[in-house]
Structure 1
Amino acid sequence: MRFLERLQKTKLPLQIDPAREVTEIEKPYYSVMEDEVLDSMTCSMQVPYQDPQWSTSESNTSRTSLPPLPWWKYRLSDSMKGLLVALFGGGVPAGFVGPFSHIANSASHMPSLEILFFRCFLHLFFAFWLRWKKVPLFGPPDSWKRVLLHAVVNVISIGCAYSSYMVVPTGNAATVRKGSSTVSSTLIALCIDKDKLTGYNWLGLLGSTVGLLIITVPGLMKLDEKTRIYDILGYILATMGGLALALGLVIFRTFDFKSKLVTSIFVFGAVGSVCSTPAMWLLQNPVIPQDPLTLSCVLAISVLAMVSFLCASYAVTITHPALVCAVLHSEVVVTMTVQYYVLRETVSPFDVVGAGVVIGSIAVITAQNVSCDRGDLLTRSQ
């Protein structure tokens, strides 16, 4: 009302022509007009009070909750994808490598370094086939030192693992190797990695480590006096192999170029072939495989080990390395199953209990990482 009275006194035009310039006398009145119009708009936009007693729950939930999505539109998180790749592509195939190495050694006395040589040769063959498909083999020059260090560390890890399979039972060697890799990767990740683990992840890591201790400690307490030195040497080699495995996964996690998998395959094959060839002739007695059983075992070891190498390396790029090492404990369960049903080696009750604890720990880690971002799903569905 005050504004209208002042407007009538000054005789300002009600409809302002945008082409006409506002005079100095009219400016204060137009500023008052803008303020009162804004006040009226804010008053009209206020939400009226609603008594929660009379408000229905359906209206409240419809405003706050999102509509349910059909089951086929749900997607796994990147962490969960990495765990599944590590479980079925890294742990399960690697579980057959130890028993097959033991079978090849028992059938033809094939040494471990010769098995490593055949595996590295398959890596080189696969890398050259990818190069024939116009896939680049080399990464950027600033990453060559890290790639070479990664290859050397993996050659040491696999050489120690294959040597331990020849000395001690394959299940115990795989158990010690995976246990040391989990502990080492956890300590390394705590020092240099920025990703933090949740309480469920720590519970899964602790459970998997306890399961490995249940499997290993009773066997260590009952070592035969005649073979005690060889058994201790085998367990030391398995521990060194696990430490090198964890270090290799952490190094691979630092690679940020696109052809990192192909480059790692090629450099590992080249370094492994160069290192294992002279060592095979100097330290061991190489054997030319002739019987079909040895040939099939060597071929299976090479293929399964390469698949496990690729899957574990890919998984560590999208998942915490400590969790990847914990999920790779499935190798122990597969190895013990093959050891009992194929090799007819005895499996103690401690082995069964420890394997059950490892499986339960993997289930805890996997269930905790089953996550789905509803915001991303809604944007994808739109």
Structure 2
Amino acid sequence: MDYYGTLGVSKDATDQEIKRAYRKLAREHHPDVNPDESAQKRFQEISAAYEVLSDPEKRRIVDLGGDPLAAAGGGAGAGGFGGAGFGGLGDVFEAFFGGGGGAGTRGPRGRVQPGADSLLRTRLTLDECARGVTKSVTVDTAILCDSCTGSGTHGNSKPVRCETCGGAGEVQSVQRSFLGQVMTSRPCPTCRGVGETIPDPCHKCGGDGRVRARREITVKIPAGVGNGMRIRLAAQGEVGPGGGPAGDLYVEVQEQQHDIFVRDGDDLHCTIRVPMVDAALGTSVSLETILDGSIDITVDAGTQPGSVSVIRGHGMPKLRSGARGDLHAHLEVVVPTKLDHKQTKLLDEYRTVSERDRVEVVSKSSQHSSGLFSRLRDAFNVR
């Protein structure tokens, strides 16, 4: 189910935007307001979407590609109007009255909550991407409070039941509406929905069970990674409230441009400038590669502008594979713009002995015939 699409909001929508969208749609499709037969099903889908996106942990599961309701055996409309875990009609009446509602209640949420995932970006050279590298990265994150070890309490003190809500985690009030008197509920402002308060909180974390800190983490990056790829480090993200289990840390690769090579997937491309005479007669060029040291690139006699020499298996390593991509050497034939007396004389001699070479307009069918540099090579070989 597309939870964001059901509410008509984007994936980066704020909690307030999600709540506004839910209230608007709930008013339109509530069965007591809309007699259409499809209204109940649509209302259940809207309620299920709001249940997921209003819960930080369930929303995180959706953003990572999962479906928290499917995992729990639910789905759009599961559990009637309330939906799975809706706590009666609380969220239904919230759409009309701005708070929770109905006789049922959600109950207090746990003090211990899972931590959020973290994202860190690191810059790598093309050489590091090709060889793999172990890097030390610095991340600002939430770690377990070492003073209270996550309990949030100071010394031997213990959490006590909230006096405001009596441990329910929410407070209720009665409002009048066109449906009659309606009991509405909202999270307790004293305990923030937990149902407990800490009379003597930890002096270091203030009762949260975690503190902000800067950590040094070692990341092993495999050979063959590319720009935008992410390495997942399980349980290296933020520790949750109340000392809850840590989320994951994702390290995203930002590949820097290389001075010589351009990467295209697992292949590498480079440009080699070849003088006109070398293109005509043929030569060999030494090229310093990333992984294979110096290799010789053969420039065949008669090489034409735009020719590409492909060296198999000299590209980037394929991720988690022993294979490698190819190296493409693009040959750019350089025609001199200034000639000295001797060079001019030699080219005049070439023009004299090569009567076939004249400026002409050719048809498409003849464009694939032997080129200028092939005939230049033949002329010099005759001499």
Instruction: Decide which structure has greater strand share.
Output: 2
TM-score (normalised: structure 2): 0.19
Instruction: Decide which structure has greater helix share.
Output: 1
